[in-house]
Structure 1
């Protein structure tokens, strides 16, 4: 039987008022699930397709990239955890897409979210870290990741539409 990307749980919209941490987390969670919704219903071969020439982007590459981005920003940079990045060379997450790894990549993504959320949950939003010689707050990291997720959700939507015509997930 061919593996198909499962449908993720529905998410609510982020709150528009109240605690800023809950608002940031709500937007982050919304965009996290958006990528999984866009991938839902596709098999491993479809996830690895690169249908928007000349770009080398694929849905599988975006899943791998965002897993690494979350780990790097939240666990390594913000929380200072001693864990290795998942990919060490530029664009490695987008290259060498083995369709046999698709199911694992899809399940690794929400598992990494949980580890990232746990790593920063007790850090204040004004927690400062050094990123390549620049002071960056945890709040700024949240905003950066929301922006990165939103941008790549747009890429993913175009890729999905090019694969099978589905849009707006």
Structure 2
């Protein structure tokens, strides 16, 4: 695996720091998937779990979509991979599911997230509300939550990648 990630400057302002760490963790997940076949990317961590690298990428596309479209800007953006009937649909993969599609969807959601976030100051409150709690969030909270979300799932990605081909690294 090649490592093209860059940590944010140690003296960056708060917004640059938060967005830098978010991008770092986005890049980490991409790096963990690098060089694998679709079949390997669909490989579940351990039975009976359906957790796979491709599933994690699809999940993060949904998470980006939820926080930066639905909550931050109150956009009516339905789910891509899951449904009310199958809340974990992003993790249920078939041979028809491809890395090219999952990666393109994820990157498109990241680009929308960046554009939407650019319209807000860190202290600005979201236009939308969380669908379960009805709460509003400021952009600082959303960025911090996304860093946590990626960091947690990158830990999963580390273990899955090591199981697939023995590759390790932070």
Q: Which TM-score tier does this pair reach, normalised by the shorter chain?
A: 0.7 to 0.9
Partner in structure 2 of residue 127 of structure 1: 124
TM-score by length of 1: 0.88
Give the 4+ runs in structure 1 shifted more than 6 A.
Answer: none
Partner in structure 2 of residue 95 of structure 1: 92
Displacement of 1:9 in angstroms is 8.0
TM-score by length of 2: 0.87
CA RMSD of aligned residues (A): 1.9
Change (3 A) 1:156 1:99: farther
**Deviating more after overlay: 80-89 vs 52-61:** 80-89
Query: How many matched pairs?
Result: 163
Assess if the C-alpha contact under 8 Å between 2:65 and 2:109 holds in 1.
yes
The CA deviation string for residues 48-69 of structure 1, in whole angstroms up to 9 with x for no partner, is: 0013234321001001000010
Change (3 A) 1:97 1:144: farther
Assess if the C-alpha contact under 8 Å between 2:57 and 2:102 holds in 1.
yes
Partner in structure 2 of residue 145 of structure 1: 146
Alignment partner of 1:108 is 2:113: no
Give unmatched runs, 5+ long, in structure 1. Answer: 1-6
Change (3 A) 1:69 1:8: farther
| Matching of residues 145-164 of structure 1 within 5 Å | 145-164=146-165
